[in-house]
């Protein structure tokens, strides 16, 4: 009888050891198809789920940015997709070593010309006090822009929700906003998705550089275990090749030229 009990205990212990780790991955976009017009993160999610197995099982969860930040602080196995690195966030998050997305510099997107030169955003806000600019809640644009949003709250319209980017683009097309701070490709894709043929202009913002999005996990022993395992998985060559291809297919030629060197720095073929 005792050998049978020991055998059963050994079986259950082995099964438990083989069980994959569980990660809840928070995101802001619903993956509906392999349409090249949707953003890079939406297309890369199924690839992440595929390469993570069998050691790691990723459960996507759609939430607004604001709610995602709350849950990231509260749950040890919660992670999130496409977060910009800041010193403040590093206090409560672990960041993956490799980015999942690289975007050209953010621009001031409008339906009319606001400046012929690269825009000094603070000066523009001072010169045009009636200007209304759309931004998404819970998002970091850059230390300088984040500070301006706090200093000039009357001139920024802050939109929350999972579809903030699409709603802001829609408001821009209907002249309810003078401009939005966004990646040009995201605005154009959002308008195209909604069947809106509205030309937009991208104004270069002074002092704004390329943007890298990383997977982040709760700063706990479990979060560290998850991020380290994901770091190993993201070294997969096919995954990296797909990620580069998704960038080239999403961005126009001009935008892709801006990010190509940065992509190769992380994902150069060996």
**Per-residue pLDDT, 1:** 52
Quote the distance between the C-alpha of residue 92 and its chain's center: 18
What's the CA gap between 18 and 56, in Å, rounded? Answer: 10
Sorted by where each starts, the structural domains of the chain and their CATH numbers stand as: 2-102+212-267 (3.40.190.10), 107-204 (3.40.190.10)
**Per-residue pLDDT, 30:** 47
Residue labelled with tokens 């198809």: 33
**Per-residue pLDDT, 29:** 58
Residue labelled with tokens 């928070």: 26
**Per-residue pLDDT, 17:** 53
pTM, 2 dp: 0.78
122 CB-side CA count, 13 A: 10
What's the CA gap between 54 and 120, in Å, rounded? Answer: 49
How many residues in total does the chain contain? 270
**Per-residue pLDDT, 163:** 84
Which stretches of the chain drop beneath a pLDDT of 70?
1-18, 29-38, 269-270
**Per-residue pLDDT, 42:** 83
Residue labelled with tokens 């619903």: 30
What's the CA gap between 254 and 66, in Å, rounded? Answer: 32
The 10 Å Cβ neighbour count of residue 108 is 24
261 CB-side CA count, 13 A: 4
């Amino acid at each position: 009888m005792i050998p049978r009990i020991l055998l059963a205990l050994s079986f259950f212990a082995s099964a438990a050891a083989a069980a994959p780790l569980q990660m809840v991955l928070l995101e802001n976009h619903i993956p509906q198809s392999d349409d090249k017009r949707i953003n890079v993160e939406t297309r890369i999610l199924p690839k992440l789920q595929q390469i993570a197995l069998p050691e790691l099982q990723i459960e996507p969860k759609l939430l607004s940015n604001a709610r995602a930040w709350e849950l990231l602080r509260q749950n040890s196995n919660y992670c999130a997709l496409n977060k910009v690195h800041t010193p403040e966030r590093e206090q409560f998050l672990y960041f993956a070593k490799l980015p999942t997305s690289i975007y050209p510099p953010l621009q001031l997107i409008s339906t009319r010309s606001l400046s012929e030169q690269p825009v000094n955003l603070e000066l523009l806000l001072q010169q045009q006090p009636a200007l209304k600019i759309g931004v998404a809640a819970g998002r970091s644009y850059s230390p300088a822009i984040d500070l301006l949003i706090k200093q000039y709250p009357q001139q920024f319209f802050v939109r929350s929700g999972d579809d903030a980017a699409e709603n802001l683009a829609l408001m821009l097309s209907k002249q309810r906003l003078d401009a939005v701070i966004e990646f040009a490709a995201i605005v154009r894709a959002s308008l195209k998705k909604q069947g809106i043929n509205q030309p937009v202009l991208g104004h270069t913002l002074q002092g704004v550089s390329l943007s890298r999005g990383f997977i982040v996990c709760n700063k706990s022993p479990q979060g560290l275990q998850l991020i380290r395992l994901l770091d190993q998985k993201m070294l997969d060559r096919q995954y990296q090749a797909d990620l580069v291809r998704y960038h080239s297919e999403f961005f126009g030629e001009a935008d892709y030229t801006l990010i190509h060197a940065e992509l190769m720095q992380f994902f150069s073929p060996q």
